[in-house]
Amino acid sequence: MNIHEYQAKELFEKFGVPTPKGQVASSADEAKSIAGEIGGDLLVVKAQVHAGGRGKGTFKNGFEGGVHLVKSTDEAAEVAGKMIGETLVTHQTGDEGKLVNKVMVADAVDIEKEYYLAILMDRENRCPVIVASTEGGVNIEDVAEKTPKLIHRELIHPLIGIQPFEIRKLASKLGFSGDTAKQFGKLLRSLYKLFIECDCSMVEINPLVTTPDGQVLALDAKFNFDDNALFRHPDIEALHDPSEEDPREVEAAKYDLNYIGLDGNIACLVNGAGLAMSTMDIIKHYGGEPANFLDVGGGATQEQVRNAFKIILSDPNVKAILVNIFGGIMDCDVIAKGIVAACGEVDLNIPLVVRLEGNNVEAGKETLANSDVDLIRGDDLADAAEKAVKAIAA
């Protein structure tokens, strides 16, 4: 799960990670009063969407840039007015763009130097890793490729946590000394505490900056939380913004279905994540393009299958459906009845290929044969995938 920049800033404040003064606004008037409270002669107004590349984005109303420097409260209000309620298109949003509901108004601090600082879960070493670099404010993957020496990694022991010597090592590698090193140490300890206590899978500050008056501040933040741990963080789960996600994925989640929309035209409905991925792969192998990933889970009900059909059919690109079920413990007849029920409700006018195998498969095939659902039977996985691809070509 991702969160907005202003929400990240609020978490930083809660845990004592210093950030520039600022607040979120939902209207031009609010932006104006926040700008007044912050004071200073240079402020920044930032559109709040999850996508990156905001600064270089364009609003559909023609307004250029999702990040603006402003010099007065009136200008803050004017810029906020052009952003709020408008759709911002960046290289990460796709052509449809993202609706901006809120903007952040913050102090535009003077920057002396930009750094990079992140904590993430290192799965190979099974512990958190701190990644730090003197090359901040740019794409860290480019730095890793061109100048890997400038990226410093520190593995943290999973049980004892971050140690003072590790902080000293990193401060030294980033060239911090004296009071700056102290501030950096305090910031990093707070950040580590936040990472662990909030069950993050990643927290990234890019850039971390030093200012001419000697402050160390987090200027931007990107969070990723472990979805498996959200049950113990209702406050973080409440930060979830469904408007940032594919509405079909939001709908699927309501029924405990795991759906990811893709660009192809052959929809698939599968039980099990590994088999669902493989079904996408085999569609591609036979020359087709999968329209989605959809795992109905190991114990799918008729109701889930019915809803799964509705969701995959809500994608206008879908030209055929491939159902691939290996009923291990799951009863194939339950799936068959779900398919029949779904087809009774929706006006199915595209080819449907069904491959059923496993537990109670004969009853499932009989249920399908005795219904008036018009479907193509796949004898095995390869046969089904091939038939789905051919059904579109025909």
Partner 1 sequence: MAILVDEDTKVLIQGITGSFGGRHAQLSLDYGTQVVAGVTPGKGGQKFADTVPIYDTVDEAVAETGATVSAIFVPPPFAGDAILEAVDAGVDLAVAITEGIPVIDMMRVRAAMEGSKTRLIGPNCPGIVTPGTGEDSHGGCRIGIAPGYIHKRGKIGVVSRSGTLTYEAVWQLTALGLGQSTCVGIGGDPINGTSHLDVLKMFNDDPETEGIVMIGEIGGTAEEEAAAWAADNCDKPIAAFIAGATAPPGRRMGHAGAIISGGKGTASAKKAALREAGIEVAETPAEMGSAMVKAMG
* Residues 105-124: x where in contact with partner 1 by CB under 8 A, - otherwise, as a string: ----------------x-xx
Cβ atoms < 10 Å from Cβ of 377: 14
Nearer to partner 1, 13 or 380 (CB): 380
Specify the residue for token string 């364009």: 58
63 binds partner 1, rule: CB under 8 A? no
Based on its alpha-carbon atoms, the radius of gyration of the chain, rounded to whole angstroms, reads 26
Per CB under 8 A, the list member of 99, 129, 150, 229 interacting with partner 1 is 229
Residue whose C-alpha is closest to residue 276's, from 322, 312, 314: 322
Nearer to partner 1, 69 or 382 (CB): 382
Least separation in angstroms between CB 113 and partner 1: 25
Alpha helices in the chain (DSSP H): 5-15, 28-38, 73-83, 140-146, 164-173, 178-197, 234-237, 247-254, 273-285, 302-313, 332-345, 361-370, 381-393
At residue 366, φ and ψ (nearest 5 deg) are: -65, -40
Under rule CB under 8 A, residue 385 binds partner 1: yes
User: Which residues make Cβ contacts (< 8 Å) with residue 345, sequence separation at least 6?
Assistant: 306, 310
Q: Which residues contact 153 (CB under 8 A, 6 or more apart)?
A: 129, 130, 131
> Pairing mode, if any, of strands 151-155 and 67-70?
unpaired
Annotated catalytic residue within 30, 154, 204, 386: 204
Pairing of strands 58-59, 216-218: unpaired
List the structure tokens of 208: 């971390």
Nearer to partner 1, 78 or 383 (CB): 383
Q: Under the criterion CB under 8 A, does residue 1 sit at the interface with partner 1? A: no
Cα gap 312→347, rounded to integer Å: 13
- Residue 292 Cβ vs partner 1, minimum distance, rounded to whole Å: 11
Closer of 168 and 232 to partner 1 (Cβ): 232
276 is a site residue for partner 1 (CB under 8 A) = yes
Two tokens, residue 186 = 């305090």
Question: Which residues within the stretch 303-332 sit at the binding site for partner 1 (CB under 8 A)?
Answer: 326, 328-329
- Interaction of residue 284 with partner 1, rule CB under 8 A: yes
Among 87, 129, 193, 293, binds partner 1 (CB under 8 A): 293
Site for partner 1 in 131-170 (CB under 8 A): 141, 157-159
Contact between 212 and partner 1 (CB under 8 A)?
no
Which of these segments, 38-46, 126-134, 146-154, 337-345, binds partner 1 (CB under 8 A)? 126-134
Catalytically annotated residue among 116, 192, 255, 259: 116
Q: Looking at 58-66, 82-90, 274-282, 361-369, which segment touches partner 1 (CB under 8 A)? A: 274-282
Single out the segment in contact with partner 1 by CB under 8 A; choices: 6-14, 63-71, 178-186, 273-281: 273-281
Q: Which is nearer to partner 1, 41 or 145 (CB)?
A: 145
Answer whether 325's CB lies under 8 Å from 358's CB: yes
Considering only residues 74 through 103, tell me which ones interact with partner 1, judged by CB under 8 A: none
Q: Kindly tell me which of 228 and 349 has the beta carbon lying closer to partner 1.
A: 228
Main-chain dihedrals φ then ψ at residue 70, nearest 5 degrees: -130, 155
279 to each of 193, 238, 251, how far by Cα in Å? 41, 34, 22
Query: Restricting to residues 23-62, which ones interact with partner 1 according to CB under 8 A?
Result: none
The answer to whether 204 is a known catalytic residue is yes
Stretch in the footprint of partner 1 (CB under 8 A) among 7-15, 164-172, 301-309, 356-364: 356-364
Strands 352-358 and 320-327: parallel
For the question of residue 112 being annotated catalytic, the response is: no
- In sequence order, the β-bridge partners of residue 303 are none
Among 91, 285, 314, 374, binds partner 1 (CB under 8 A): 285
Which tokens belong to 55? 């600064």
Of 18 and 161, which has the nearer Cβ to partner 1?
161
Buried b (16+ CB within 10 A) or exposed e, 155-184: ebeeeeebeeebbeebbeebebeeebbebb
Distance CA 219, CA 109 (A): 9
DSSP element (H, E) containing 24: strand 22-25
Coil, strand or helix: which one is 390? Answer: helix
| Given 14, 61, 232, 287, the residue binding partner 1 (CB under 8 A) | 232
The catalytic site residues sit at 116, 204
Residues in touch with partner 1 (CB under 8 A): 121, 123-124, 126-128, 141, 157-159, 196, 199, 201, 226-229, 231-232, 258, 260, 262, 270-285, 290, 293, 295, 298, 326, 328-329, 357-359, 380-382, 385
